[in-house]
C-alpha cells in the first residue's frame, strides 16, 4: 500500500524523529514526545497519499500503427513473422550444446528485429494513406494552369497567383517525399523478411551439417553478423524515414 510505503520513507522518518526531539527538548514527557513524532509521521504519509503525490504511471509502450489489410507491407510483415516463428521453433528443437546456446542468444535480436519491422509496416500503411489524400494528377493540372496564367497576368494579381503556385508546388513536394519514404519502407520490409528467411535456412543447414561437438564457430559468427546486419538495416530505415517525414 502507498500509505505503508510513505510511513517507511526516509525523509518522513527524519521529520518525525526531529519533531519528537523538539517535543522532548521542551520537556514534554517521553511518551508524549514519541506521540508527537508518530503523529507527524502519520500526518505526512496521509498528505502524500491524499495530496498531489501520485504513483508513477506505467511506462508507455511504443505506439505501433495499424497495418493496412491486404497491403504489400502486410504481406512482407507476415513473411517476417513466419520466419521469426520458424527461428524460435528451430532454436527450441536443438539439443543442448554450443550450437543451441549460440542460436538461443540470437533469439532476442530476432524478436527485436521483428518488432522494428512491425513499426515499419505500420508506418508504410500510414504513409500510403497520406499519399492517397494527394491527387497528384489534379496537382499537376493545377500547376500547369497557374503557370500559364502567370505568363499573361497583370501586376495586380501576379502576387496572388505566385502564392497559389507555391501552395500547389508544396503539395507536389509532399507527395514526392511520401512516395520516396514508402518505397524505402517497402524495400526494407522486403529485405528484412527475406533476410530472416535466409537466416532460418542457414541455421537449419548448419544444424543438419554440423555435429554439435564440432560446431563451426566461423559459420555461427557469420550467422550472427548476418542477423546484426538485418537489425541495423531496419533500425536505420526507421530512423531515416522518421527524419524525412518529420
Per-residue pLDDT tens over the stretch 57-108: 444 444 567 899 999 999 999 999 999 999 999 888 887 877 788 889 899 9
Query: What pTM was estimated for this model as a whole?
Result: 0.66
- Tell me if 64 is assigned to some domain: no
- Tell me if 218 is assigned to some domain: yes
- Tell me if 215 is assigned to some domain: yes
Candidate ranges 29-33, 47-51, 152-156; pick with highest mean pLDDT: 152-156
Mean pLDDT of the chain: 77
Confidence of residue 172 (pLDDT cuts 50, 70, 90): very high
- Tell me if 239 is assigned to some domain: yes
Query: Domain residues for 28?
Result: 2-50
- Tell me if 167 is assigned to some domain: yes
Q: What is the pLDDT of residue 38?
A: 43
What is the pLDDT averaged over residues 218-222?
77
Question: DSSP of 193-205, one letter per residue?
Answer: HHHHHHHHHHHHH
* Same domain, residue pair 206 and 138: yes
Q: How many domains does the chain have?
A: 2
Q: What is the pLDDT of residue 192?
A: 94
* Same domain, residue pair 40 and 89: no
* Same domain, residue pair 9 and 111: no
Confidence of residue 221 (pLDDT cuts 50, 70, 90): confident
- Tell me if 186 is assigned to some domain: yes
* Same domain, residue pair 152 and 224: yes
Amino acid at each position: 500500500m502507498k500509505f505503508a510505503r510513505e510511513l517507511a520513507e526516509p525523509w518522513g522518518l527524519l521529520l518525525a524523529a526531529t519533531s519528537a526531539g523538539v517535543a522532548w527538548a521542551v520537556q514534554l514527557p517521553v511518551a508524549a514526545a514519541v506521540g508527537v513524532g508518530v503523529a507527524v509521521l502519520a500526518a505526512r504519509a496521509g498528505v502524500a497519499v491524499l495530496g498531489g503525490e501520485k504513483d508513477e504511471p506505467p511506462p508507455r509502450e511504443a505506439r505501433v500503427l495499424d497495418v493496412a489489410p491486404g497491403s504489400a507491407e502486410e504481406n512482407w510483415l507476415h513473411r517476417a513473422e513466419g520466419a521469426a516463428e520458424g527461428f524460435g521453433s528451430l532454436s527450441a528443437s536443438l539439443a543442448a550444446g554450443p550450437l543451441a546456446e549460440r542460436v538461443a542468444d540470437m533469439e532476442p535480436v530476432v524478436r527485436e528485429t521483428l518488432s522494428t519491422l512491425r513499426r515499419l509496416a505500420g508506418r508504410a500503411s500510414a504513409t500510403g494513406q497520406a499519399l492517397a489524400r494527394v491527387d497528384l494528377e489534379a496537382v499537376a493540372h493545377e500547376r500547369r494552369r497557374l503557370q500559364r496564367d502567370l505568363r499573361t497576368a497583370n501586376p495586380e494579381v501576379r502576387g496572388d497567383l505566385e502564392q497559389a503556385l507555391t501552395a500547389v508546388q508544396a503539395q507536389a513536394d509532399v507527395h514526392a517525399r511520401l512516395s520516396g519514404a514508402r518505397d524505402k519502407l517497402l524495400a526494407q520490409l522486403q529485405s528484412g523478411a527475406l533476410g530472416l528467411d535466409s537466416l532460418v535456412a542457414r541455421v537449419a543447414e548448419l544444424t543438419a551439417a554440423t555435429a554439435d561437438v564440432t560446431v563451426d564457430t566461423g559459420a555461427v559468427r557469420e550467422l550472427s553478423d548476418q542477423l546484426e546486419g538485418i537489425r541495423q538495416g531496419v533500425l536505420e530505415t526507421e530512423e531515416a524515414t522518421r527524419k524525412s517525414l518529420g
